[in-house]
Structure 1
Amino acid sequence: MNDMIDIRGAMLEVAHWPSDAPRGDAPPILMLHEGLGSLGLWRDFPQRVAEASGCDVYAYSRIGYGRSDPFRAPRTPAYLHEQAQVDLPAVVAALGLERPVLFGHSDGGSIALIAAGSTDLALAGVVVMAPHVRVEAVTLRGIEAAARQWACSDWPQRLARHHRDAPAVFAAWRDTWLAPDFRDWNIEHLLPAIACPVLAIQGEDDEYGTMAQIDRIAAAAPEARLLKLPGCGHVPHRDCPDQVLDAVAGFVATL
């Protein structure tokens, strides 16, 4: 069963996967889910990360997601910054994590990069899969296509298995990214301030972003390495799990 922690008056679900063969010098890993994700939607991947890396792995559902408390206010275009600069440091403190590796997917990857580039969190490293550092036309087209699929499929019922309020989760994601005042969202100016190593992973067939996203990370972050995966879409840990696990284990071993 998952635990609950109080973060600024909201109860968030969290879970911990200890490594079966821990390395004494291995940093903890904190996983940050994507824009429609939750703790539960990681499925068995956190345990596989723990086994491959020798690290203790933690994950949580952000407010409004999974079994965490519902959204408390309408989402604003600053929501990724709010999560990275306010809620994430509070989660790290509540879990007692020292120099963790932030491991984020999509929106979670953007949150990890913002935190690394604009907060005083002490981090051992950052791993991002399919992150966004700016808004691209392909991202908006992908979300528009997702909205059409949402309206004429069983997707709402399937997503409801993983969230208290799946329609609210989907609407927050769709409406924020498609809002005119979000078109200029960009975090590239934060990348040069990232003081820890970064591993950025992107699928060549990602329906929500191009390879330019991680190329921009490599160009701006002081210590970044890239993994580009052919035949892989927006969910590398589903499409190419073994390659992702090998890369993460190798990255963590160098920290």
Structure 2
Amino acid sequence: MPSISTSERYVWTYVGNLYVKIWAPPADTNSPSTAPIVLFHDSLGSVELWRDFPEILALTLGRQVIAYDRPGFGRSYARTDTLEADFIINEAAGAFAAVRSELEIEDFIAFGHSVGGAMAAVCAAAFPKQCVALITEAAQAFVEDRTVKGIRDAEAVFAQDGQINRLKKYHGEKAQWVLRAWVDTWVSDEFQHWTLNEILPRVTCPVLAIHGEDDEFGSTAHPERYTSLPKGPCVMELVQGCGHVPHKEKPDIVNGVVREFLTRYVG
């Protein structure tokens, strides 16, 4: 079986270092003109929490896959400040821009899970000539009652003895900040009116929205919003018997759908 090569590096910003990991397919299946896939992790996520999914993507698609830890997450620099309410829209000019510049990324495919899907959409809108496809997975497009309830339920679980250690495994001493950044932002009064209504019409590339039918953090109204765009082909894939993490719960389905979508609309 062909092997995937991996490399790690840190990208310097004026605040601190961002951790980046790259999965490269065998040389005979990749070419300099093949747009890499950039992964945007979820609210509690990190590079390592993607587990083997990036490797499988790189091998299946013959494309380079790039993932990075946002500031305050994983192996990137720690944060002690309050997460800004406009953190989603800031991603395009912030961490993503730094990674894109350092790695000299031209064309790219934006692939985001959960809030990372919203960030991927923002980046697709910010770089319309360079983003050749947008793939969202369990992504939110607005604040829904189900989302807030899911976050409150998760907060109660993490409050139990020892549960925060699940986050410390991936975020170390940053775990508490990661949890509070997620909960306190999404349930705040200031954030309740957040939507991507102004951003999504600026996305011009093909869009694939993957969503589990049993997603505890969002109804199908979210993928419907992502695939109701006036420009570019839009495809919605509802995965049966699946919750909030399709690439973990139904990896074969996700890989197949992504491969079919990119083969048809990107080449």
In the alignment, which residue of structure 1 is the partner of 2:135? 127
SS of equivalent residue, structure 1 residue 176? helix
For the pair 1:117 / 2:130, whether they are aligned, the reply is no
> Is 2:244 the partner of 1:237?
no
1:2 corresponding residue in structure 2:
8
Letter in 2 for 1:212: A
Q: 2:220 aligns with which of 200, 211, 215?
A: 211
Specify which of 53, 56, 64 is matched with residue 64 of structure 2: 56
The CA deviation string for residues 63-93 of structure 1, in whole angstroms up to 9 with x for no partner, is 0000100126321210111113332122111
Deviations 1:103-123 (A, max 9, x none): 110111000111222456611
Is the contact made by 2:80 and 2:177 (CA closer than 8 Å) also made in structure 1? no
TM-fit CA distance, 1:247 = 1.3
Q: Which runs of 5+ in 1 are unaligned?
A: none
Q: Is the 8 A contact 1:28 1:98 kept in 2?
A: no
Q: Which has the higher contact order (CA 8 A, sep 6+)?
A: 1
Secondary structure class of the residue paired with 1:161? helix
Instruction: Compare 65-74 and 112-121 and name the one that shifted more.
Output: 112-121
Identity, % of aligned pairs?
34
Q: How many Å apart are 1:217 and its aligned residue?
A: 1.4
Runs of 4 or more off by more than 3 Å in structure 1?
Answer: 118-121
Match of 1:148 in 2: 156
Matched to 2:210, the amino acid is I
TM-score by length of 1: 0.95
Q: Tell me, yes or no, if structure 1 residue 45 matches structure 2 residue 34.
A: no
8 A contact 2:128–2:203 mirrored in 1 = no
Q: What whole-Å deviation, never above 9, does each CA across 1:33-56 have from its counterpart, x for those lacking one?
A: 000000111111100000111101
| Alignment pair present for 1:90 and 2:103 | no
Deviations 1:114-146 (A, max 9, x none): 122245661111111011110000000000000
Q: For the residues of structure 2 that align with 1:61 and 1:70, how far apart are their CA atoms? A: 11
Task: State the partner residue of 2:210.
Answer: 201
Task: Work out whether residues 61 and 67 of structure 1, in 8 Å CA contact, stay in contact via their aligned partners in 2.
Answer: yes
Q: What stretches of structure 2 of length at least 5 have no aligned partner?
A: 1-6
Which SS does the other structure have where 2:153 is aligned?
helix
CA offsets, 1:131-166, max 9 Å, x none? 111000000000000011011153211210100311
State TM-score, norm by structure 2.
0.91
Instruction: Give 1:177's match in structure 2, choosing from 186, 200, 203.
Output: 186
RMSD value over aligned CA atoms?
Answer: 1.5
What residue is the counterpart of 2:109 in the other structure?
Answer: 101
Shift of 1:251: 2.0
Pair 1:17 & 2:5 matched? no
The more displaced of 76-85 and 197-206 is 76-85
Q: Give the aligned residue type for 1:31.
A: L
Q: 8 Å contact 1:22–1:56 — kept in the other structure?
A: no
In structure 2, do the counterparts of structure 1 residues 121 and 179 end up closer, same or farther at CA, with 3 Å as the change threshold? Answer: farther
Counterpart of 2:199 in structure 1: which amino acid?
A: L
Alpha-carbon distance between aligned partners in 1 of 2:215 and 2:99, rounded to the nearest angstrom: 30
